[in-house]
Structure 1
């Protein structure tokens, strides 16, 4: 059976799949990245995992994978197959596409940013399916976005499009990992809510999920922390909506797991800020933590589109 390899590399773990050319999930697996052993060990873990997946396909499906797709985390510019900077993995200038292709008997390899790759999956087979124009925003440890145009994702001239988390929404505000102050990521990510709620509650172990539960229970301090994050998020989103005019705004990541505790005040806050623009549908992501892997499979299958269509 003809298939491709899909790999979603996280900070500590990898999700992988063998995907048929019709999109069917044929096999799924997970493995640690080995990040504690250093950047070189992570590269070797990825290469070895991909090699194992290729061997599995040969054994159980009668043929080797025809292409591979890999999604990489962090602040990444994917230029000519090189992960230029992947902060979560300690990488700089890693020729991942070349290394993987060499390890996998020369098959074509696609390399993508994790959030944009997840956004690709949400756009084609998830919450954005059929919308044509959408913005996917992931609210996790950081905040990043993917700009969906028809069946593709706009990566930008240098592979950095969609970095909505680094729009400054509170000048002079909290320091951001990018070096500036007041970025959306420093105010409205799951990590930012965790920091704010730990300080407000006096519990250093409290996190964003605990804050959401306290909001649901009517805690005033939690509501204040939560609303401040929602307001900052709405300010950043309205800037993005003004520039991009998407039909649908898809929100994913850990913070979105709060459900309507997030979406109800967020929809209201965005609507309050919209003037002459058309308000997009604001919906939760549909694919959860499988989006990156599914998107990597789509990237790999896209490499074979011409051949498959013949």
Structure 2
């Protein structure tokens, strides 16, 4: 079995289409890709993909094979990287991940902490959904990430960085935008935008807050990410609840207000794999408290954005 067959199979499974996988991901002809898949199925001794009106679907055998194929490719990639490092030792490296948007607050201090430890270190930075970052930590694709505490990740260790309050988000000219603070009861009768399953921790925090407040709000739409939330708030004139860091992304047509009373909060944590024995990771963790203190001081010295004419 050759790795090329595994790469082709994973590409088709992810794309859900032989045509899309061939043209957009593998840059090969579809007939050639079909032959490679047939060769793989012959070697495995089971049909892995089935054609349907929606493209191709994984058979039960294909579903079982997919996870192992991904793991084999990850291991092969890690083996190549290890061999290259051994052949030509490179500078120390460290891979950081951020829940999209959090790098604005935390990346400068994280970089400074790493440079203080190892001035010549090479740092790679990525951002994405919290769940995606957690999976990358599990696979040792990244060393450390600023994310939400994701359930079902037993190999990950979390350390609390901050407790972020939720804020009310609405159009800039909304009737509630003139208030100093917004009570959750004020959302009754409004077009409410909920959170989808792509952010389960945020979704759970909002639902728990609504239940605690005794307020029933049926989401007219569910959002997947910050960009979608801003777009739907502006286009539907809806209201929603988002962690406070979302204020960094508000366009002129959208604003935010604090929640009255005791607002819900959501944890921002740093996560890392318990099996990661990186000396750089250990040094970074030993300086984490100082990093958090510096970031809190800087954020505390920055005034809130003005209410008139722009986002709050």
Normalising by structure 2, what TM-score?
Answer: 0.27
Normalising by structure 1, what TM-score?
Answer: 0.27
Which of the two has higher C-alpha Rg? Answer: 2
